[in-house]
Structure 1
């Protein structure tokens, strides 16, 4: 199981989502139809098979509105579940349960969708030694949650932001006048704990980059033949990352070329939420 995120990181997202939903007047349907002291017991149930992530979001959504609510998780984040599986049970003030329902389900479903898709990619490359990594193509405001969900699915996190690793892209290279100069400047700037990665779009750029000692080289939209050639050229001198247009249909063949990591933007930018519902019990 994946080490859970601390509530401190999740609460601001949950509170912002609740505020967006409750608006100026609160849940007028619950206020109109449900007695103030009514109680409600519910179960979070998966409508489809998948991998779970985000149960703490559902818990915090409810307990923000009813601090005395009970929330019992029956599976852990990262667990594979079948359709119909009950993930958690909760009991609390009925108005609070109903008002928190959509926020909790939105975040739980989104994160479980990311974890489920990630697991499909990880399973597809099993045995090759290649690792599946995410990108910064995340939903604004949800990056730390979506990257946590990637870990729940067995994937590995790429850099979290612009501040934790140097990644020289094509426009940086253009601004510097070439790969060699861009890498030279980056290595001079980087501290001893900061990695330097450079993106290349051809074998000629790869050879130029390798001469200047980057930690990682991103092979952007390389053909399978060129990926295999790149692995032979690098000879372990740098971590090789394949990137660009990776799909579930192509990822196995990419992994079999011998690259070290495969970055997949679709894990977060094109994911479908896992269908999870809330049922009164």
Structure 2
């Protein structure tokens, strides 16, 4: 049974999956435009993919940008994410730089959650503890943009992340066949029912995996990602389109 986590006015792990809209703008103008659109479409959560930001290396400017995004979003919870090249992102930075950036974002008080690439960093449990001391919630994440490993490997990754102290567990993988999508959904259902009470985010990417972005309520995924601008991963729907499909599926589930 998943225990919900409340971030501002949003409960993650309760009811329909929450819709998170990533911001991928390269500069201040683009980012504030995306933040405004996120507020207009009433996404449940926002994610700043700071690895797209062209001034990430300037700590003062990136922290100012984070503050401005926080103000523009109002009470919409904000996830701070730097996705490194090894996990499909744009950031070519050292492990030390990665830790410095995410800790600075957490310490600023302008991020509600911080994404940590669980398998890309040594002493990750210590990093998560340091982030928790700032008051943020932590998402332990893993991404594979090439393939979907077998069910036992996926399950063991979830179990490993669960031991880290992170508040939410996230996995995104690329399917090569429909069975890969079904495997991820089945593993997620087993993990949420038998192994952890933490909210889990699971998605199969690309067109083949699009059902996993819609049907999270049926297999235990607590958050799904949708666009207001450029997609941050293959297969994302626009926010309003995704909401319509999820509402229709929820209605069908209730009726049945």
Fold in common (TM above 0.5): no
TM range (shorter): 0.3 to 0.5
Larger radius of gyration: 1
Give the TM-score taking structure 1 as reference length: 0.36
Give the TM-score taking structure 2 as reference length: 0.38
